[in-house]
Chain A
Amino acid sequence: MSTNRHPIEQEELMAYLDGELPPDQATEALSHLELCPECQTLAADFGGVSQKLMAWEVESPEVGIPSEINAALGERLQKREAAKVGSPRLENRVMTSRWVWAGALAIVCVAVGLKLTLTSRNRNEDRSTVYSSMASIEQYLMPDRNAEIAMARSAAPEAISADAKILVLGWRGYETAIEGKNGFVCMVERSWMSPFNSAEFWNPKVRVPGCFNPGAARSILPLTIKRTEMVLAGLSKAQMIDSIKAGFDNRELPTPAAGAMCYMMSRAGYLNDAVGHYVPHLMFYFPLTDKSSWGADLPDSPVTLNPQFQGGPEPITEFVIPVGKWSDGTVAPVM
């Protein structure tokens, strides 16, 4: 590849696909990638290699903590306890040491704060060891455009989705695949619509089909569009959060329209590793409100508070109500 024709090196392109380029270079890489068939081929090749490597899974036996580790652990903790009881000075030293550790940790947290908490690596949940950073972009794309259209439509009963506008995800963001007639917009969301602290924020398997009603298409869909553009531009979580906050502050981003809701009744979706396909449900959006106003999460209440925007930069409250059938009319499992 000649650098005369390509403003970025192949290695840089790979780094971009790995989520390893700083935002300014990432933007340049994305702009070039979108227009360059040769680089798209390289990206597809690397994505293909990663996908083939996934075949090599290692089944780990389900075991508890082995006895040797338990013994060593017990011994260490016992010694520590004995030291505490036998030596007040040592206790002081240990306590002091703990403060030193805590102080050091605080320093580390400040120094690498973004990395620890807000960047592409969320280490606060179990699956952080699995989806610790963004996978190559290709893994989030669906190679078969028609399959993505069909999946998007499956979010709502045909009477609604047949005339809906359909969006599909491309290299630069969502694109209109089919114009609609009824004001609904159907699409397949990806993992980055999870809460920012979700361990599956970068899970490339996530596919969440949804059909937004006209109110949600105006006021909720822009959030999906914005997050997606920022992700594809290589922004860190901290940058995305700041940008979303600013968007609401300066009113570039809308607040939920009255009656904004979304159908999520697809049996083809994959919400995350924890719940898989989940159950068919409807979602309703409001400006921040107390969940008690809907009786959400109370015993036997069918309404739950969705954590999607909870504690996030979007000042939105989202309620979920499961329904009994998938969009194709078949009976769904009971929650």
Chain B
Amino acid sequence: MTSDEALMLEFQGGSRAAFEELFARYRKPLYGFFGRRLNNPERAEDLVQETFLAVIRAASRYEPRALVRTYLYGIALKLLAAERRKFLTSSTFGQSAPEPKTDGTPECVLWVRQAMEKLDAPDREILMLREYEQLSYSDIAELLRIPVNTVRSRLFRSRLALKSYLESEAKTNPALRASAGQPHPGRRGMQ
């Protein structure tokens, strides 16, 4: 099967099929990326679309210096930052950020989300890029423009903190304590 990088080059050369293949490979992972960070399915879908539109517009400028995967998450991180800035700006005009949708969300997911929200934002981002996007330390370092050692130390710190948050919540909620011991049947990380 063709590598992402070769597909990107084929797309630059005018291959629609190559783009469609990249879309098929990355739509769900990107949706998971935005979905977890925004808790807003509609915006997540929009931003996935914007990511691919950015790829189309910038295709001629893509250089195979980085892996396509890193390139795509780089675009996604920029779009996410813009989205968050937009929120901050609109908040000053009286709009507030929508509450995360919780209808029908399993308690164990809410528990994880709440624990993640307690982490410092930069630490949380590193943890999510590692756990959900399954990026390597060096990929994360490249995307966030920080040293690899910083990635490692923050990842360590955030995992310890998360463990502590999850444990303290489980102590006060017997249902979570019971579910905490149950391995989740879903596969690791992205959808």
Chain A 126-154 interface 0/1 with B at a Cβ cutoff of 8 Å (1 = within):
10111111010001000000000000000
20 A-B pairs with C-beta separation under 8 A: A14-B155, A14-B159, A52-B180, A54-B184, A56-B112, A58-B32, A60-B35, A60-B191, A61-B45, A65-B23, A72-B57, A76-B56, A77-B16, A98-B13, A109-B5, A121-B136, A123-B5, A126-B25, A128-B25, A131-B134
> Which residues of chain A in 86-107 are interfacial with respect to chain B, using CB atoms and an 8 Å cutoff?
94, 98, 101-102, 104-105
Distance (whole angstroms) from the CB of A231 to the closest CB of chain B: 16
Please state if A68 and B53 are interface contacts (CB–CB under 8 Å).
yes
Q: Does B131 contact A (CB under 8 A)?
A: yes
Pick from A51, A54, A56, A102 the residue with the most CB of B within 10 Å: A56
Residue B142 at the A interface, CB < 8 A? no
Closest to B138 in A: A20
Residues B159 and A49 in contact, CB atoms below 8 Å apart: yes
Interface residue tally for chain B (C-beta within 8 Å): 68
A80 within 8 A of B: yes
Instruction: Bits for B55-86, please: 1 = Cβ < 8 Å to A, else 0.
Output: 01101000111010100000000000000000
Is A130 a contact partner of B134 (Cβ separation < 8 A)? Answer: yes
The verdict on B178 contacting chain A, using a C-beta distance below 8 Å, is: no
The listed residue (B9, B166, B188) touching A49 by CB distance below 8 A is B166
> A130 is contacted by which of B16, B29, B135, B152 (Cβ under 8 Å)?
B29
Whether B20 pairs with A56 at a CB distance below 8 angstroms is no
B28 close to chain A: CB less than 8 A: yes
Contacts of A205 in B (CB 8 A): 187-188
Query: Are A203 and B187 closer than 8 Å at their CB atoms?
Result: yes
Is A114 part of the binding interface, using a Cβ–Cβ cutoff of 8 Å? no
Known A-B contacts A11-B153, A72-B53, A129-B190; the reply to A51 vs B184 at CB < 8 A is yes
- B109–A130 touching, CB < 8 Å: no
* Cβ contact within 8 Å between A55 and B59: no
A60 touching B31 by the CB < 8 A rule? yes
Counting contact residues on chain A (CB < 8 A from B), the size range is: 35 or more
Contact with B along A185-200 (1 / 0, CB 8 A): 0000000000000000
Bitwise, B74-116 to A at CB < 8 A (1) or not (0) is 0000000000000000000000000000000010110111000
Nearest CB of chain B from residue A138's CB, rounded to whole Å? 11
Q: Tell me whether B118 is interfacial, beta carbon within 8 Å.
A: no
Q: With a 10 A CB-CB cut-off, give which of A48, A73, A135 has the most chain B CB atoms.
A: A73
Q: Which residues from 1 to 29 on chain B have a C-beta closer than 8 Å to any C-beta of chain A?
A: 1-6, 9, 12-14, 16, 19-20, 23-29
Residue from B19, B35, B65, B183 within 8 A of A108 (CB atoms): B65
Flag if A125 contacts B23 (CB, 8 Å).
no
User: Which residues on B sit within 8 Å (CB–CB) of A98?
Assistant: 9, 12-13
Given A60-B35, A76-B56, A98-B13, the answer on whether A139 and B156 have CB atoms closer than 8 Å is no
Given known A-B contacts A48-B163, A69-B53, A72-B56, A56 and B156 have beta carbons under 8 A apart: no
B186 touches A54 (CB 8 A): yes
| Residues B184 and A58 in contact, CB atoms below 8 Å apart | no
| Chain B residues in 8 Å Cβ range of A204 | 188
Check B43 for interface membership: any CB of A closer than 8 A.
Answer: no
Whether B189 contacts A130 by the Cβ 8 Å rule is yes
- Contact check: which of A11, A18, A49, A55 meets B184 at CB < 8 Å? A55
